[in-house]
Chains A and B, each alone.
Chain A
Amino acid sequence: MAADNRPLSPHLQVYRPQITSVLSISHRISGVFMAAGLCVLVYWLTALAGGPGAYADAVGLLGSWPVQILLFAWVVAFFYHFLNGIRHLIWDTGHGFEIEQVNRSGKFVLIAAAVLAVLFWFGVRMGGGA
């Protein structure tokens, strides 16, 4: 087989989605999404270091509603990747591989990520408001 025509990763779209596979690809998607989020964190830090004018501009941009939607998505991605990452670390110790355990830990991660994301979102203060 030619070196430039080797098979790539399995084509997952031929399988019926299950909680295991959906959470697995979600871990990857949330990770890639947060790689982009790292740029936003650094933008925020450079604005902070840049002085009051730069920071006011950044607060204005980050506070606009399209960016707010994106920021909420980053918050969800963070808590999901955080909790599912701990799930992965537990698997690395060899525990929790029974199907019922995998399904249960998966549902727990989903619910806990949603709860933590909402709690965090309403806990963050932007000048007293939301």
Chain B
Amino acid sequence: MSLRTPLGRVLGLGSSGGGTGHWWSQRVTAVALALLGIWFVFALLSLDLSSRADVSGWLSRPLNAVLMVILLGVAAYHSLLGTEVVVEDYTRGSARVLGRVALQFAHVVVAGVGIFAVLKLAFGG
């Protein structure tokens, strides 16, 4: 006999109330980043990084710009998921809340600035 309520069983969110959402998102973004990481590594190896013309020409191409925008978004999300857990593990009370909000703000800003830079190049800025 289970003491869990029917609603609790249907929702399947467990005692933390979060279910497997955080864990699963971390795995999905990890797989995406593994693939995007391989792409980025080979891209960096193919470029002369001291030449702005070389690098901006590469990043202005639609496929590369799209992949870089996706990489920035997914990397920021994966990073947020990971650093959130670090803050949750080592802090409590208001520090935990402030830490998580600060991380969320910082990650959105970093991703937003990076994506804007890529789009500016891609649209011929």
Residues of A within 8 A of B (CB): 3-6, 8-9, 28, 31-32, 34-35, 38-39, 41-42, 45-46, 48-49, 52, 55-56, 59, 63, 78, 82, 85-86, 88-89, 92, 120, 123-128
Contacts and interface: CB of A to CB of B under 8 A. Distances in A.
A48 B30 contact: no
A67 to B, nearest CB: 13
Given A8-B89, A89-B31, A125-B48, 10 more contacts: A6-B92, A9-B89, A42-B72, A42-B114, A45-B68, A55-B55, A86-B34, A123-B45, A127-B48, A127-B50
Contact of A35 (B34, B44, B83): B83
A112 to B, nearest CB: 14
Given A42-B114, A82-B37, A89-B27, A48 B55 contact: yes
A120 B91 CA distance: 37
Contact of B82 (A3, A35, A59): A35
Contacts, number: 97
Given A45-B117, A48-B56, A39 B34 contact: no
A41 B89 CA distance: 27
Contacts of A48: 52, 55-56, 59, 117, 121
Contacts of A63: 50
Contacts of B27: 89, 92
Nearest to B44: A124
B47 A49 contact: no
**Of A6, A41, A63, A88, most B-chain CB atoms within 10 Å:** A41
6 contacts: A32-B82, A41-B114, A46-B117, A85-B34, A123-B45, A124-B45
Interface string B67-84: 010001001100100110
A111 to B, nearest CB: 18
A56 B52 contact: yes
B18 interface: no
B116 to A, nearest CB: 8
